[in-house]
Structure 1
């Protein structure tokens, strides 16, 4: 192999590796935050691609020489990274779903704010839980496991994979699990507020002379914040369970893609 062909092969391989990492970083939690500048995201993807490059090049993957087939492989690698990033992103979806349920019960539905992490409208409690979970993931170095999971993808999904991702049933079950986990995470606060609503309703029916609804809303908000404060010590364990579950989903994606 001539020097020119060797340089072309190495540069083509690096661009393919960069494409997959860029797709993942665009959607994954922590890395894909809106507050992170695009240049920083690209630099992070490039740095990780440089680190992973010797591992991938040792396998001598086959790379198309023609331009159009190579562009098709680049697009395919970006899509692979986006699919992996989407599965990792479900961790964020669970937290936002739980926050939406809590906001609905506390009366904050009309007070949705802009999520500083992703720049979209999201519930206030979802913002609180997402920011707290992000800090916990960074403090415990859990983002290193996200990088390790992405590196592991090359063992299951080679460059230019010939097969499709996991079948449709995997994504159906994934959405089902996201809804179930969001309900479980919100249920302590949501259930307690629901029971308080039932109690207020019974009280208003028993003593209709009391204008209970004039004071129930601020009391309900205070009660909700007290419940959230009491649940904070257990939030780290919940995030740990969500993160481990999320990593198991990524592994299921890899195994289904390999078959």
Structure 2
């Protein structure tokens, strides 16, 4: 007859629930997995499957009752770590969305905005186009697999323990948030530069021929120039996006290393 003591049962529960919490924290906010269109059952099922794969490789866990105060604190700690790791990759997509927003507003798409159910905010057509392009590159370059692989490595870099983690990881995450603006402007720079030249030319034309209706001819010209520049830059946009994805993967490892005191 097989008998299981309560101590052994607590060890088995902790070996599953603590890694699962970190994994679900990442899946809740990470690109693609954290999309609101992905059913909750799919996220939980994927998290459990990944936990069963990763759990045997996790370093020795603290001998604590998962339902004790110390065990619940570890649970909350793992949730925070998972959310921070997922948010590090989410910033990459925020930079792409920022680039689409800047390009759309410069082209005159400010009036053609609509509600985005994923971000619960206003979104433009160019924003949505670049976001879909980023998701396709995210899948084509297997960045989602690299992200899950980095998540598995964080259990070695930042093991599950009752010791508090260092706050330097949050400082790294906050500084990484500034990449939204620099990366977004880099992606939108061709459109901004082309439309700046176009607007200067329209201004000169208006001064030379005041009888022209600038509002009648300016909008279709700026819109057409913006769309042409986006079409011409599409073959070259994959390289900077791939570099941003790699930066996000590296930042995940750096956050875990700094939080672990390395």
TM-score by length of 2: 0.91
Q: Kindly tell me: are residues 116 and 244 of structure 1, through their superposed partners in 2, closer, same or farther at Cα, counting changes over 3 Å?
A: same
Q: Mean Cα displacement is larger for which, 154-163 or 27-36?
A: 154-163
Confirm or deny: 8 A CA contact 1:63 1:70 kept in the other structure. no
Alignment size in residue pairs: 257
CA shift, 1:180, in A, is 0.7
Residues 52-71 of structure 1: matches in 2 within 5 Å?
52-56=54-58, 59-65=59-65, 67-71=68-72
Partner of 1:249: 251
In the TM superposition, residue 144 of structure 1 has moved relative to its aligned partner by: 0.4
CA–CA distance in structure 2, aligned partners of residues 11 and 163 of structure 1? 23
Distance 1:143 1:19, change over 3 A: same
- Partners in 1 of 2:167 and 2:124 — Cα distance? 32
> Which stretch of the first structure deviates more once superposed, 188-197 or 20-29?
188-197
Give TM-score scaled by structure 1 length: 0.92
Structure 1 unaligned residues grouped into runs of 5+: none
**Which consecutive unaligned segments of at least 5 residues does structure 2 have?**
none
CA distance in 1, matches of 2:119, 2:35: 5
- Give the match's secondary structure for 1:164: coil
Structure 2 residue 223 is the aligned partner of structure 1 residue 221: yes
Q: What is the CA–CA distance in structure 1 between the aligned matches of 2:151 and 2:26, rounded to whole Å?
A: 8
Q: How does 1:10-21 map to 2 (within 5 A)?
A: 10-21=12-23
Tell me, in whole angstroms, the C-alpha distance in 2 between the residues paired with 1:29 and 1:158: 24
Contact 1:35 1:116 in 2 (8 A): no
Structure 1 segment 181-220 matched on structure 2, within 5 A: 181-220=183-222
Distance 1:249 1:200 in 2: 43
Match status 1:121 vs 2:122: yes
Paired residue for 1:237, among 231, 236, 239? 239
